[in-house]
Chains A and B, each alone.
Chain A
Amino acid sequence: MNIPYTVDERPDTGLTNGKLGIWLFLASEVMLFGALFSTYIILRVGAPEWPHGELNIWLGAINTIILISSSVTMVMAWASLKMNDWGKHRLFLISTFLLAALFLVNKYFEYSAHFATGELPSHSTFLAIYYTLTGLHGLHILGGMIVMAYLLGPGAKMWKENSDQFANRIEATGLYWHFVDLVWIFLFPVLYLL
């Protein structure tokens, strides 16, 4: 039995089931990160003093550029599919995957520098919330990479069987990816600059 409304929009919601599903998932993600951001605010407001300059701003800025670039390549991967250009779609999706990997490599170097000087999560409240927020965000990046790897690998054969459904899957992946990038757009100034 086929899953209904994967291509056509449901009359009652005006959305495909996939798009409704990804937005419900993103709503739960907003609550998850919202709770952690609230925790950060409460901890910071209640702290007698808050450390500044403990993080490498330049690495954080480079990672911001990487994620903004990856959002562009992701939307181009979807737009290429809509214009039936399979080659460009593959190129842009692979670029997004590589940019995501580059983000994690940078994060690895950033974490390593902290670990080398004994700056573990137990070191201070600031580092505890820093590792929690960026660690959870990093896991989301990894999750997006797994989905992209599937869509580049075994999942790609759907393009020949049902191109509209495949394009919808890429769009759902793009929505998730933009959400993950959006979280970083808030994390960078909050943790690195303020």
Chain B
Amino acid sequence: MSLRAFHLLFIALSVVLAAFFAAWAAGQYQSAHDLTYALVCVMSLASGVGLSLYGAAFQRKTRRL
């Protein structure tokens, strides 16, 4: 496996982690009603979307490497 393929796998797992962290923060918000957790949930989801877009762009731009 090349570094390019390993990086794509890593980014995919990072997206899963971002989704998990968002779910965790949502659970904390439901039990503690602390707005910090709601903010963390939104930021984590945004990070997941950002990482997905980055992964797609990376795959497209490094096809010839």
Residue A78 lies at the interface, judged by CB distance under 8 Å to chain B: yes
Nearest A-chain residue to B43, judged by Cβ: A61
Instruction: Tell me the chain A residues, 167-194 only, with Cβ under 8 Å from chain B.
Output: 171, 174-175, 178, 181-182, 185, 188-189, 193
- Is the pair A175, B6 in contact by a Cβ cutoff of 8 Å? yes
Residue B14 lies at the interface, judged by CB distance under 8 Å to chain A: yes
Tell me how far the C-beta of A54 lies from the nearest C-beta in chain B, rounded to whole angstroms: 16
| Main SS class of interface, A | helix
> With A178-B10, A181-B10 in contact, do A189 and B2 touch (Cβ < 8 Å)?
no
> With A79-B65, A171-B2 in contact, do A71 and B10 touch (Cβ < 8 Å)?
yes
> With A72-B54, A79-B62, A193-B24 in contact, do A178 and B3 touch (Cβ < 8 Å)?
yes
Contact of A189 among B10, B17, B40, B58 (CB under 8 A): B17
Contacts of B21 in A (CB 8 A): 61, 189, 193
Q: Bin chain A's interface residue count.
A: 20 to 34
Nearest B-chain residue to A181, judged by Cβ: B10
Q: Bin chain B's interface residue count.
A: 20 to 34
Nearest B-chain residue to A184, judged by Cβ: B17
- Is the pair A178, B17 in contact by a Cβ cutoff of 8 Å? no
> With A71-B10, A79-B62, A181-B10 in contact, do A174 and B3 touch (Cβ < 8 Å)?
yes
| Known contacts A174-B3, A178-B7, A189-B24, then 12 further A-B pairs from the complex at CB < 8 Å, ordered by chain A residue | A65-B47, A71-B7, A71-B10, A79-B65, A82-B65, A174-B7, A175-B3, A178-B6, A182-B10, A185-B10, A185-B14, A189-B20
Sampled A-B contacts (24; CB under 8 Å):
A61-B40, A64-B17, A65-B47, A68-B14, A68-B51, A71-B10, A75-B3, A75-B4, A78-B3, A82-B65, A171-B2, A171-B3, A174-B3, A174-B6, A174-B7, A175-B3, A175-B6, A178-B3, A178-B6, A185-B17, A189-B20, A189-B21, A193-B21, A193-B24
- Residues of A near any B CB (own CB < 8 A): 23, 61, 64-65, 68, 71-72, 75, 78-79, 82, 171, 174-175, 178, 181-182, 185, 188-189, 193
- Residues of B near any A CB (own CB < 8 A): 1-4, 6-7, 10-11, 13-14, 17, 20-21, 24, 40, 47, 51, 54, 58, 62, 65
